[in-house]
Structure 1
Amino acid sequence: MTRTARRTHHTLQVAGAGTAALLALSACSSSDSDASAKSDSRASASASDELSGEVTVFAAASLKESFTELGEEFEKQHPGTKVTFSFGGSDALAASITGGAPADVFASASPKTMKIVTDAGDAAGTPVTFVRNQLEIATLPGNPDRISSLKDLTGSDLKVVLCDRTVPCGAAAQKALDAGKLKLTPVSYEEDVKSALNKVVLKEADAAVVYKTDVKAAGDKVEGVDFPESADAVNEYPITLLKESRNTETAEAFIALVRSAEGQQVLSEAGFLKP
């Protein structure tokens, strides 16, 4: 072999070795990347799998439809979890919590009822407003009494029901009446907004002052009538983790879902206002 041939052969050997090294390095890098991706995937799955067990949520009656939907979605996202709800008047729920009833999360229809829980030291952290709600008049389908204002409800020939004044929807209704300088004597005061609405659904009352979300949830069973005084009585809804929660991590994850873009969309579709 000539000197020139030997030199060419040596160059090819070096180049070949370099190429092999680069291929090996590339394969190693690819392998490391795949391993890292798999590791991240496993970590993500592990984090999701960490959530388990039951979460008990005490929530205002007006949240029933939207929270039930969010609870089902939460269970799908986190297999092995279960969300149990107790819906009712916020004042009654607050009293149950301060009385020792086991619960992980409290979602109230007003800051005033939430304050009952925070003042008793039963909340973990500071409650956060996650939605707002506005009042509307629920009438019989087709609005046969031609109700068009809050003042129309003061007519003596109409059977009107209100939520009890200790309940957020009742306190808001009274605030709206005060704003309009109106006096109204209902045929009954109901324990929560669903009970008030149900009186109209069952045709036991001609009208009820409830939330827009409840009118929407009732569909064609009632008809809604807006009134300007409702703007003076918009309720903020705060939510909090409870101090005696037995499943803190999962409870916090449910609250995060409620406050997330996905949760807010469900609530907005139900008729709630942004916080």
Structure 2
Amino acid sequence: MPGRTVVVTDSTASLPPEAAAEHGVVVVPLQVVIGAEVHDEGGGGATPEMVAAALKSFTPVSTSRPSPAVMAEVYERVAADGATEIVSVHISGDMSGTFESAQLAARSAPVPVVAVDSRQVGVATGYAALAAAEVAAAGGTAEDAAAAARARAEVSSSLFYVDTLEYLRRGGRIGAAAALLGGALAVKPLLTIAEGRVESLERVRTSQRAISRLEELAVEAAGDRPVDVCVAHLASADRAAALTGRLADRLGEQLEGREVWCGELGAVLGAHVGPGMLAVCVAPRLF
């Protein structure tokens, strides 16, 4: 009987539930701590609205990875459901301990587990997980699927605008000096993910110019290749919807009939970027 490879990812991958279900991707929640209360991300737990409200009211917000024990339970359940191999695709190991938990849990899993550090965040990790699932569905091995995940994550672009670097500074995701410099110059920073970390891309004087530049960078990243595109935001629905419409128009040929996904950023990532954040992920299709 042929083996069955199942893909696991985490909630920061920001996959729409229907996309995860369609591809059989199992999603493990991270946790958000708001004040003294601990919530799982998604599934009726922490919502982006809760995080945005807490940040605006200066209520302490932090995040927590799934423990190795939690990951081990997931692998055991997936194996019990018939998986003979698992590919576990996660947020950059430089941004979260989730990948480390996956590695530790893999050692005692009842079936082979290939843990993948996507070196990405958000839906770029999600697109990598979907690439792995497509290869697995076509009969590929766990190693084949993991290679597809790594390849897609590597060619994907994660571009984002934040109203302030303060939330990234608080969470230790960007140097304090960068946050102070941005505030002093009253500039609107455009950021990217490079080598698994948040890096400054450009500095623009106004939010309107920053969003216009974000659009141009996304179009440049797409080039003339077939791509998937996602726009994400936190407490900035109108700006996100407008950007989604413009990108859908400009990238129609490269999208090949697929929609530009648009949604609110999950609670965990939202806790680190703050209200007003606008992001675009451009993920070239490998096949």
Does TM, normalized by the shorter one, top 0.5? no
TM superposition score normalised by structure 1: 0.30
TM superposition score normalised by structure 2: 0.29
Bigger relative CO (Cα 8 Å, ≥ 6 apart):
1
* More helix as a share of residues: 1
